[in-house]
Amino acid sequence: MRSRKIGLLLLILIMIVVTCSGAQLMAATKVCKLAEVHPPDYPTAKGDSKFAELVEKYTNGRYKIQCFFNSQLGSENDVVEQAKLGVIEFTRVSIAPVVTVYPEIGVFTMPFIFTSQEHQWKVLNGPIGQHFLDQCVKANLIGLGYFEAGARHFYANKPLDNLASLKGLKIRVQPSPVPVTMVKLLGAIPTPIAYGEVYSALQTGVVDGAENNYPSWVTQNHCEVAKYLIQDAHLRQPEIMLASKKFWDTLSKADQAAIRRAMKEATEYQIKEWNNHEFEALEQAKARGCIVKPANIAEFQAAMAPIYDMPEYKIYKEWIEKIKATK
């Protein structure tokens, strides 16, 4: 009698296990889209691929991420909108396009806001960085974490020796408020253009120059058509990984935690990739015949300083003070 009962219990147990694992197997893998403007071998894009690999691993294959590189899904301003509406699940973008849907985060687009890479990461990894990730929810976006993007410098198709050489030049900027103001303050003419179109704008003379970090200057071949770069390092603008809130709300708490864990590890990986490749890109540019000059940084800082007192950027005041106070 007793052994019959045990047998029955065992049978029930086996049936439960079989049913559960069957359901698990049948639970369809959700394939998510991630938008990226860079090619797959760019350090930031490698960070995306690492993130995708870890999300699949930590969600036991329930979520797979397909990365769409080279602006295949549209410009950064477009994909931020798509993520907001839930058309795509993830996007990795620069902070500048996020400003259109969440203005306060634009404090990270202010010139010379961070004094070094260490200062930048101290801020991003602390309460200020967390505040801005959390508040993306106001725009129906989930801020998952930041990536490194080095320092940005001006480059043009004419020799750039100092601040005066930028006067009157048409400079491509990211379609976002601060970059426009910043370039005006230098006496140049800002032209907002999506990243994927900058090479042809430079090549056809729509603009005379642009500004970006070394890897972007080189991988997009801007260095071919704008070979003079001045190392003014006016901006250290972080990158951000966003998820669509609409998608995020469909996830279990455990899967949300798995995705956050994946992003944390992907960030560590991306920073290493970045640090290994940033200056390699500079060497490649020099080998391709580019002319790189050091800038009198104080001169650029002085020219851009009035931006900090402009009424339209007063919303950043409190945060600027907190960032400056972070040692």
Chain residues that interact with ligand BDP, rule: CB under 6 A: 37, 44, 76, 93-94, 149, 174, 195, 212-213, 216, 239
Question: Residue 37 CB, nearest distance to ligand BDP (Å)?
Answer: 5
Output the DSSP codes for 212-229. Answer: E-HHHHHHTTHHHH--EE
Question: Residue 47 CB, nearest distance to ligand BDP (Å)?
Answer: 11
Question: Residue 20 CB, nearest distance to ligand BDP (Å)?
Answer: 43
Cβ proximity to ligand BDP: between 58 and 154 the closer is: 154
Lookup: tokens for 256: 């949300």
**What are the CA-CA distances from residue 45 to residues 34, 163, 263 (Å)?**
10, 33, 13
Answer whether 106's CB lies under 8 Å from 177's CB.
yes
Number of C-beta neighbours around residue 149 at 10 A: 24
Radius of gyration of the chain (CA): 23
Cβ proximity to ligand BDP: between 83 and 258 the closer is: 83
Cβ proximity to ligand BDP: between 40 and 61 the closer is: 40
Which class for 65: exposed (0-12), middle (13-18), buried (19 or more C-beta within 10 A)?
buried
Cβ proximity to ligand BDP: between 38 and 227 the closer is: 38
Question: Residue 194 CB, nearest distance to ligand BDP (Å)?
Answer: 7
Question: Residue 295 CB, nearest distance to ligand BDP (Å)?
Answer: 19
Cβ proximity to ligand BDP: between 59 and 216 the closer is: 216
Residue written as tokens 């049936």? 15
Cβ proximity to ligand BDP: between 63 and 69 the closer is: 69
* SS3 at position 31: strand
Contacts of 285 (CB under 8 A, 6+ apart): 214, 217, 218, 223, 227, 229, 292
Cβ proximity to ligand BDP: between 93 and 229 the closer is: 93
Tell me the β-bridge partners of 90: 34, 243
Contacts of 38 (CB under 8 A, 6+ apart): 44, 45, 69, 70, 216, 219
Question: Residue 149 CB, nearest distance to ligand BDP (Å)?
Answer: 5
Answer whether 205's CB lies under 8 Å from 103's CB.
no
Question: Residue 267 CB, nearest distance to ligand BDP (Å)?
Answer: 15
Question: Residue 225 CB, nearest distance to ligand BDP (Å)?
Answer: 15
Residue written as tokens 């400056």? 324
Cβ proximity to ligand BDP: between 76 and 232 the closer is: 76
